[in-house]
Amino acid sequence: MGRDPDYLAFLRTRLAAEPPPGRRTISELRKEHAADLAALPRPEVGAVKDVTIDGPGGPLPARLYRPAHPVQAGADDPLPCLVYFHGGGWVLGDVESYDPVARALTLACGVALLSVDYRRPPENPFPAAVDDAVAAVRWTAANARDHGLDRARLGVAGDSAGGQIAAAAAWRLRDRHLAPALQLLVYPAVDLRDVPPDLPDPDGLTFERSGVDRILTLYLLGTDRTMPEVSPLLAADLTGMPPTIIATAEHDRLRPQAERYAARLTESGVDVTLLTGTGLDHGFLGWGSFARRPAEAIAGIGAAVRAAFARV
């Protein structure tokens, strides 16, 4: 099935405006990525506060978002919180550039969201990002009361590369007292052994592959790609992982591995909600203001998060 007409028109306009294919430096890719995200709308939320996390490699900038219409019962009740790790292929993106996406998630979910500026390769290869993610969860738990957050309802979240980081952090913390109450993974990369092939496109669209194989090499160097903290899908035992929401995009080459991860978690007794992004593509979290289908998918993610936290 092809894409909805309004969404397809948006996507064609977007692809036509992309820079021509070709090898670019990491610095050039970062500038292009930041400019792309800067064009996204920044919806109003209840409050935004910049904070600093004590990271294993030094201070980590982070940004705490509070919803205008929170889900908790009383105005003074502590809020559930998602500790969020942005996408960007491990090497791109930061808290400021992903501000529009963080706002959209906060608005949809009605919970607090802490967006974390984890260390990136090539300056800081694996496991720096995962180490930072674990430290961010610990910091949030330790400082929950000071920020009006519910320590018992802290989850991890991430999209794309950030989904791999969030899932790896959840796996490392699964048997500890700081185990997340929830993991939200949006079109996550959970098997880094190789770059998956493109899926057949019903509308004949062509997406640049953007050198992901080169970026994986920068991220992992010589690390064993079958390690659970690299490829969460390949963990021998997923028992004890938190309740999980996985949102996929139909035309995303990462969809098959995300679906396999959902199935493996379910087989391990984990409560899994799989949201199939029919007619959508990788990156839709930033596109809710431009077409109906991304907006519906983001709203569905928010509803699933609210329902999951209500069960905690």
Please identify every residue annotated as catalytic.
160, 252, 282
Could you say which DSSP state residue 194 is in? Answer: S
Angle, alpha carbons 235-238-239 (nearest 5°)? 150
Cβ atoms of 180 and 186 within 8 Å: the answer is no
Instruction: Report strand pairing: 272-275 vs 182-186.
Output: unpaired
Please, is 300 exposed, middle or buried when counting C-beta atoms within 10 Å of its C-beta (0-12, 13-18, 19+)?
middle
Query: Cα(137)–Cα(165) distance, rounded to whole angstroms?
Result: 12
CA 307 to chain centre: 19
Residue 74: count of CB within 10 angstroms of its CB: 7
Residue 123's DSSP bridge partners are none
Residue 51's DSSP bridge partners are 62
Cβ atoms of 168 and 133 within 8 Å: the answer is yes
